[in-house]
Chain A
Amino acid sequence: MAAFLSRERIVAQPGFNRWLVPPAALAIHLSIGMAYGFSVFWLPLSKAIGITQPVPCPSGPTGLRGFFHLLVQTECDWKISTLGWMFTLFFVFLGSSAAVFGRWVEQGGPRKAGVAAAFCWSGGFLISALGVHLHQIWLMWLGSGIIGGIGLGLGYISPVSTLIKWFPDRRGMATGMAIMGFGGGAMIGSPLADILMKHYATPTSVGVWETFVTMGLIYFVAMMLGAFGYRVPPEGWRPAGLTMPTGERRAMITTGNVYVSEAVKTPQFWFLWWVLCLNVSAGIGVIGMASPMIQEVFGGRLIDLPGVALKDLAESQKAQLATIGAAFAALLSVFNIAGRISWASFSDYIGRKRTYFVFFALGTLLYALVPLAGRLGSVLLFVGLFCVILTMYGGGFATIPAYLADMFGTRFVGAIHGRLLTAWSAAGILGPVLVNYIREFQLDRGVPNAQAYNVTMYVLAGLLVIGFFCNLAVRPVSEHHYMSEEALKQPVRPSAAAVRTP
Chain B
Amino acid sequence: MADDEMREPKPGQWPLVILAWILVGVPLLWGVYTTLTKAALLFK
**A residues in contact (CB < 8 Å) with B:** 14-20, 23-24, 26-27, 30, 181, 184, 186-188, 191, 225, 229, 237-241, 323-324, 326-328, 330-331, 333-334, 337, 383
> Nearest-CB distance from A325 to chain B (Å)?
9
A315 to B27, CA, bound (A): 36
For window 2-44 of B, CB contacts with A under 8 Å fall at 4-10, 13-14, 16-17, 20-21, 23-25, 27-28, 30-32, 34-36, 38-42
- Most chain B CB inside 10 Å of its own CB: which residue of A184, A337, A383: A184
Do B20 and A20 touch across chains, with their CB atoms under 8 A apart?
A: yes
Given pairs A16-B13, A327-B38, 19 additional interface contacts (CB within 8 A): A14-B7, A16-B9, A16-B10, A17-B14, A18-B9, A19-B21, A20-B16, A181-B24, A184-B28, A184-B32, A187-B35, A239-B7, A324-B42, A327-B41, A327-B42, A328-B42, A331-B35, A334-B39, A337-B32
Set of chain B residues within 8 Å of A19, measured between Cβ atoms: 9, 17, 21
Do A24 and B35 touch across chains, with their CB atoms under 8 A apart?
A: no
Do A324 and B28 touch across chains, with their CB atoms under 8 A apart?
A: no
Q: How many A-B residue pairs have CB under 8 A?
A: 92
Do A17 and B17 touch across chains, with their CB atoms under 8 A apart?
A: yes
Given contacts A240-B7, A383-B42, contact A188 B17 (CB under 8 A): no
Set of chain A residues within 8 Å of B39, measured between Cβ atoms: 327-328, 330-331, 334
A17 to B16, CA, bound (A): 9
Given contacts A229-B20, A330-B38, contact A187 B28 (CB under 8 A): yes
Do A24 and B20 touch across chains, with their CB atoms under 8 A apart?
A: yes
Set of chain A residues within 8 Å of B10, measured between Cβ atoms: 15-17
**Which listed residue, A15, A237, A337, touches B13 by the CB 8 Å rule?**
A15
Some 12 contacts from A to B, beta carbons below 8 A apart, are A15-B9, A17-B13, A23-B23, A26-B24, A181-B28, A187-B28, A191-B31, A229-B20, A239-B7, A240-B4, A323-B41, A334-B36
